[in-house]
Amino acid sequence: MQQRRQLIPKSLLLGRKTDQATWVFGVGDITCLAIFNTLKPVTVSPIDIHPEAAQIVKSLPGSQTAIVQGPEGRLFIQKNGRLPHLLADQILVKVIAVALNPCDYKMAERFPSPGATDGCDFSGTVVGVGIDAAQSNKFRLGDRVFGAVHGSNPIDHQSGSFAEYVVVDAGFLFYTPSNISNETAAGIGGTGLGTLGLALFKSLALRGRPDKPVDNGDFVLVYGGATSVGTMAIQLLKLSGYRPIATCSPKNFDLVRSYGADNVFDYSAPDVAESIKAYTKNTLNYALDIITEVKTMKHCYGAIGRAGGKYTCLEKYPEHLHTRKTVTPDLVMGISILGKRIALDHGYGSDENLELREFGVEWYVTLQQLISEGKLRPHPIKVLPGGFQGILDGLSLLKSRTISAQKLVVEIAEA
C-alpha cells in the first residue's frame, strides 16, 4: 500500500509558535513527530489541534498532478506525482491559477531535465507554513498569495508552478489584495517583476527607485513595450522618475502609452533606431531589450547615444553583435534574484549569491507596497480553459507568436 505523506509544521497544528524545528505529518493513519530528521510517535489531542490546520491536513492529497519534463525535455501531464517537500523557510501553496511565459517552453527545450516540474508564475492559497517562516507571522493558512519559482530546475525537480501544490521561499511571495482576482494575480506573478528589479537597478544601475524617485530622470528605452514585462518596466521607470520610451506594434501604441510611456516607436520600421536617436537628441544611455534577438540588439545599439551607455537583455546575446566599445552589454537571469545556484550551461548559470538574495527580499517588500497601494497596473490577461491541458495548449500559442499584448493565464483549481 502506498504511504500517504502529509507535511505541516506542528506550530500550525497546535495554533501556536514553537522554537524548534518540529513537524507533524501523516504516514497512512499514523501521526509522527520529526525533530531534526529523528522520527518518533507523538500523541496530539484532538482538542489541541487548530481546526483550520486539522482540515488542511485531512484535505492534502497523497499525490498531485503536474506538468513535468519527459525524455528530451518534452512536457507532459503527470498524474500521481509526489507533493513537494516543505522546508523550514518555505510556504506551501495550493495553486489556483498559473501564468505562462516564453521561458516555460524554452527552459524545457534548451535544458532538458526529465522529471523537472515546469512553470514559474502562479497564484493560490497558503496551506502550509514552515517553522522558520511562521516566526514572522507574515503568511497564515488560507491567505491568498502569488509569486514565482524556478521552473524546470535541474537540481530541484519539485520547483515548478505547473502543479497542484508548490513550495515557495517565504521572502519571495506576495500577498494578494482583496481587489485582485486569482487570475490577475497569476498574471502579475513574480518572474517579470524579479527580472526587472535586477535589470533596472542592478544591471542598468539606475539610481532612482519607486520609493526614492529621481528628479528629471534620463530616457530609458524599453524594447518590447507591449509585453507583460514591458508594461511593468514602463510603470516602474515612471515611478522611479525616469522617462520611459518603448517599441511595439502600432496597433499597441495606445496601450503602451496608457502605461506611461513618454513616446512609442514602431519596432518594425527600418529607421526605428534613427527615430529614437532623434527623439532623445542622441543622449540615450539605457536600453532594456526584452525581446533579445539579432534585430532588436542592433536597433538598441543604434539607438543608444553618442556617449554610449548600457544595454541589458534577457537572453544570451551573440558576441559578434557587440559592435560598440562604449556600450556595455549584460544578460539578466531573473531567477538569480532568489540567490540560489542556477545549474544551467551555455552562459545562463550562476553560483549562489546571498547579496542578490538580500536585494531580492528587499525588492519584494517594495513591490508588495506598490501592489497593495494599486500603483502597478496589471497587464491585460487572457484566461485559457482546459486546466493542465490548457497550459500545454497555451505554451504552443506562445511558441507560435500568435499572442500580442496579452498574458496567458490558466485556472487549474477552484478558489
Q: How far is CA 346 from CA 144, 292, 293, 316, in A?
A: 37, 16, 17, 8
- For 38-55, the pLDDT digits (tens) are 233 333 333 334 455 545
Q: Do residues 122 and 166 touch, judged by C-beta distance below 8 A? A: yes
Q: Which of 350, 395, 407 is nearest to 108 (CA)?
A: 395
H helix intervals, 253-350: 253-258, 272-279, 294-303
Q: How many CB atoms lie within 10 A of CB 312?
A: 26
d(CA 315, CA 228): 16
- pLDDT of residue 150 exceeding 60: yes
3-state helix, strand, coil in the chain (%, to 5): 30, 25, 40
- For 224-243, the pLDDT digits (tens) are 999 999 999 999 999 999 99
- For 193-220, the pLDDT digits (tens) are 999 999 999 999 999 999 999 999 999 9
Fold of the domain spanning 61-189+380-411: Quinone Oxidoreductase; Chain A, domain 1 (3.90.180)
Q: How many CB atoms lie within 10 A of CB 288?
A: 30
pTM, to two decimals = 0.88
Q: How far is CA 220 from CA 93, 165, 287, 392, in A?
A: 37, 39, 6, 35
d(CA 232, CA 254): 15
Q: Phi/psi class of residue 412: alpha, beta or left (left: φ > 0; alpha: ψ in -120 to 50)?
A: alpha
Query: What integer pLDDT is reported at residue 21 of this predicted model?
Result: 34
Architecture of domain 193-359: 3-Layer(aba) Sandwich (3.40)
- CA angle at 231 for the pair 329 and 352, rounded to the nearest 5°: 50
Q: Which distant-in-sequence residues (6+ apart) come within 8 Å of 130 by Cβ?
A: 9, 86, 87, 88, 89, 90, 91, 170
Q: For residue 171, name the pLDDT band (cuts at 50, 70, 90).
A: very high
Listed range (10-14, 108-112, 358-362) with the worst mean pLDDT: 10-14
Q: For residue 410, name the pLDDT band (cuts at 50, 70, 90).
A: very high
Amino acid at 239: L
DSSP string, 385-400: PSHHHHHHHHHHHHHH
Q: How far is CA 398 from CA 105, 116, 409, in A?
A: 9, 21, 12
Q: Which of 251, 257, 266 is nearest to 274 (CA)?
A: 266
Rounded mean pLDDT, 389-393? 98
Q: How many CB atoms lie within 10 A of CB 321?
A: 17
- Map out the domains of the chain as residue ranges: 1-52, 61-189+380-411, 193-359
C-alpha cell at 60: 492534502
C-alpha cell at 114: 526529465
d(CA 394, CA 392): 5
Rounded mean pLDDT, 83-87? 92
- For 109-135, the pLDDT digits (tens) are 999 999 999 999 999 999 999 989 988
Q: Which of 369, 364, 405 is nearest to 187 (CA)?
A: 405
